[in-house]
Amino acid sequence: MLFAWYLSFSATRLDRLHHRVETSWEHLDALLQRRAALALEIAHHNDLDPALDMLLTASAYESREAPMTDRDEAESLLSESLRMIRESVAAGDIQIKVALIDRLGDITEKIRVAISIHREAVTAVENLRSKRIFKVFHLAGRAKLPFRYSFEDDQL
Amino acid sequence: MTFPPSRIGMVCPYGWDTPGGVQIHIKELAEHFIALGHYVSVIAPVSDESTIAEPWLVSAGRPLAVPFNGSVARVAFGPVATSRVRQWIASNEFDLLHLHQPEVPSLSLIACWSAEGPMVGTFHTASSKQRTLVAAGPILEPIIEKLTARIAVSEMARETLREHFETDAVVIPNGLDTSKYSAAQRLDKWSYGPTIGFLGRFEEPRKGLSVLLEALPFLMKKNPKLRLLIAGPGDSEKVLKNVPSALRTRIEFLGRLTEREKADFLKSVTIYVAPNTGGESFGIILTEAMAAGATIVASDIPAFSEVLQSGECGALFASEDPHSLARVIEGLLVDAERREVLSHSGIESADKYDWKNVATQISDVYEIALASGAGVSLASENRPWKRFRTIE
């Protein structure tokens, strides 16, 4: 009886964590989409050199159009190009509308927070699911283990 | 045809100190034109400027590793690279610019955008991801339009160019110093067996070593003395794990070879196998093997079949099919006469890839581009002060 209660309690716990991963990912994804839109705006409004322009445009486009499995590279590329833009603006090498740069700084900060929240949720699920009782009793059902993307390691 | 001594600027999009086909091509091309009495300067991204050995090389700053087109490219872009390219163009008074891979987001594209005057572009790759091109097309098109003449290194590269940019190009293959290969020695340690040779980064799936390994049991059974020699960097343990233990003693790993050793290796092995499954635009390694007089067995991917003239200079097998590969190798192992014929026609047709012929063709293109007489200058529409027009 007690054991049955424990099983049900554990399953609920896991379910709650799974749900948390989903929400944190949705939040992160929405921010990434906003970043892509902002990147396109920056690319259109300033005469950056064509190589940087091309990387920015192509990766922003990819971020918005590609299926998630292909997006990892694009998000990394976007992080990298945008970091170069912010550094160049700080060094006075290029000029970009102050409003755009402010929004970029803002969204980068939000993405940084969103990534750390999402990672924390993923780690919690992984820890819980590695316990034997979850494996033996199939408490996770057919839910897939949450996926870690390599762009989450990028320096923003 | 020749043209009067000129000032030629070449732009390399990829990190100079990482090994690659494009870098080698530019280096040999530059040396060739310097030997002919022209002034040549090359600009490229460089990771460590203290290692530059060539007096004619200019650094555009450190390259960044960027995931692009399914692999990682070491390219340079951004304001620092741009100002170095501009400065290089402004201070050298070039008659002509030769831009390599101007469709890649790196220095060549920046140079093409920054300059005005005679410009030649060489396209090395065969394909680009569709989505990237859809997004980047509107940026690339007006810039690539500025090229006076276009060169594609293979029919496939030309086809891509036609498809994506609706412009045609002259096909001129990558150059090769055939004398290095014809001077190669046949060494007993690599020819005793008979032997099958494989060359390249064998861990990369597209190099196709797994296809060869699958064909191996059949071949080894028929030829009890056959040895497989694998040259190139990589982890041999991982490969051996997938091989039946009885055959492991007959596989040897030679590690990375020097240029000289590579030529000897190609000359020595009984059969050189190139089982690549794709991703090649031009089979530079096949032209080297041909020049060394190797008997070649290669997959029938378009790039290889083009270089081997549909099987005239080497035998082709159905790509990714180990049975077909085993049959073709076995057929050649028992037929010394046919091996001799293939080797001979290989040596003969490798000559057209020799620098003396390739550089002449490139010279012809240069001459046409130079005909306008105007030199290279910075384009007026993107002078730095123009930038301020968008600032609010």
- Structure-token pair, residue B10: 């070449």
Q: Tell if the CB–CB gap between A49 and B143 is shorter than 8 Å.
A: no
Name the 3-class secondary structure at A137.
coil
Name the 3-class secondary structure at A123.
helix
Q: What pTM does this model have?
A: 0.82
B307 touches B283 (CB < 8 A): yes
Interface list for A 74-113 with B (CB within 8 A): 76-77, 80, 84, 88, 93-95, 97
Q: Tell if the CB–CB gap between B136 and A84 is shorter than 8 Å.
A: no
B9 touches B376 (CB < 8 A): yes
For tokens 């200058």, the residue is B377
B346 touches B289 (CB < 8 A): yes
pLDDT of the residue at A116: 87
Instruction: Count A/B contacts: CB-CB distance under 8 Å.
Output: 87
Chain A residues within 8 A of B75 when measuring between CB atoms: 51
pLDDT of the residue at B387: 46
Q: Residues of B355-389 as b/e, b for ≥16 C-beta within 10 angstroms?
A: bebbbebbbbbbbbbbeeeebbebbeebeeeeeee
Chain A residues within 8 A of B78 when measuring between CB atoms: 49, 51-52, 84, 88, 93
Q: Tell if the CB–CB gap between A49 and B110 is shorter than 8 Å.
A: yes
**What's the helix, strand, coil split of chain A in %, to 5?**
80, 0, 20
pLDDT of the residue at B128: 59
pLDDT in tens, chain A (156 residues): 778 888 888 888 888 888 888 888 888 889 999 999 999 988 887 778 899 998 888 888 888 887 777 788 888 888 888 988 888 888 888 888 888 889 999 999 899 888 888 888 888 888 877 777 767 767 666 666 666 667 766 666
Those residues of chain B that have pLDDT short of 50 are 383-392
Using CA atoms, how far apart are residues B70 and B73, in angstroms rounded to an integer? 9
Rg (CA), chain A: 20
A117 touches chain B (CB under 8 A): no
Given B78, B83, B135, which is nearest A52 (Cβ)?
B78
pLDDT of the residue at B127: 61
Given B78, B105, B390, which is nearest A47 (Cβ)?
B390
Count of Cβ atoms closer than 10 Å to residue B152 Cβ: 26
Using CA atoms, how far apart are residues B40 and B34, in angstroms rounded to an integer? 6
pLDDT of the residue at B172: 93
pLDDT of the residue at A9: 82
B284 touches B21 (CB < 8 A): yes
A44 touches chain B (CB under 8 A): no
pLDDT of the residue at A155: 66
Q: Tell if the CB–CB gap between A61 and B135 is shorter than 8 Å.
A: yes
A41 touches chain B (CB under 8 A): no
Separation of CA B18 from chain center: 13
pLDDT of the residue at B70: 64
